[in-house]
Amino acid sequence: MRAMRIALIGFAAGIAVPGFAATSKQAAAANAFETVRKVLQHPRCQNCHIPGDAPLQFDDGRVHGQGVVRGPRGDGPPGLPCSTCHGETNPPASYGANVPPGAHNWALPPPETKMVFIGLSPAALCAVIKDPKQTNGRDLPAMLAHVTDDKLVRWGWDPGVGRAPVSVPHADFVAAFKTWMDAGAPCPTSSPTSP
């Protein structure tokens, strides 16, 4: 039994364990989820998927300037919506680095479903994205559609001048999410990778 547990932890970490062969579907699911985790815990995603109410910004995840907060719907407090500074698209590159970026429906998740990604172990992150109570009612097929088509999600791959885009190509991320989901969306049982 202990050897089987070691093997499963090894598979989740992507480590081959002598004497145990994971099914190709299990191994593919473990690798796919690691890709999903890498994307969701990139600064472009986790800066808005926060446990508190002040969004983070820049690649180093510093607290957003100007005293910005989530607000009652996630789009800023009354009188200072996110759209005050964030437009529907990124400003032209000629504006320079670190100007407020833009994408359709710029906002944080609403306060009742914060969908926190920052600081979570792989197992905890997996539990969050599988729980419709934490994803604004989205089940896994709806989450797949969200990460595939939502313009604010897609902004992470085109964040404007001065910001690192998500390091995994969007098509690879979507394919990994689908592979993981089609394998039953298994969650890691340990934390082999730090966020």
Beta strand ranges found along the chain (DSSP E): 56-57, 62-63
* Amino acid at the residue 6: I
Cα-based distances in Å from 11 to 22, 43, 147:
7, 27, 26
pLDDT tens for residues 63-114? Answer: 999 999 999 999 999 999 999 999 999 999 999 988 999 999 999 999 999 9
pLDDT reported for residue 1: 45
Q: How is the chain split into domains, by residue range?
A: 27-182
pLDDT reported for residue 25: 85
Cα-based distances in Å from 10 to 6, 19, 22, 133, 134:
6, 12, 10, 30, 29
pLDDT tens for residues 20-59? Answer: 446 788 889 999 999 999 999 999 999 999 999 999 999 9
Q: Count other C-beta atoms under 10 Å from residue 70's C-beta.
A: 22
Q: Report the alpha-carbon distance of residue 81 to residue 104 in Å, rounded.
A: 13
pLDDT band for 134, please (50, 70, 90 cuts).
Answer: very high
Element (H, E) at 11: helix 2-12
Residue ranges of the alpha helices (H) in 47-156? Answer: 122-130, 140-149, 151-155
Note the pTM of the prediction, 2 decimals.
Answer: 0.84
pLDDT reported for residue 20: 40
pLDDT reported for residue 191: 52
Partners of 56 in the beta sheet? 63
pLDDT tens for residues 145-193? Answer: 999 999 999 999 999 998 999 999 999 999 999 999 999 999 998 654 4
With 70 as the cut, is the pLDDT of residue 12 above it? no
Q: Report the alpha-carbon distance of residue 150 to residue 193 in Å, rounded.
A: 27
With 90 as the cut, is the pLDDT of residue 18 above it? no
Residue by residue, what is the 3-state secondary structure of 15-34?
Answer: CCCCCCCCCHHHHHHHHHHH
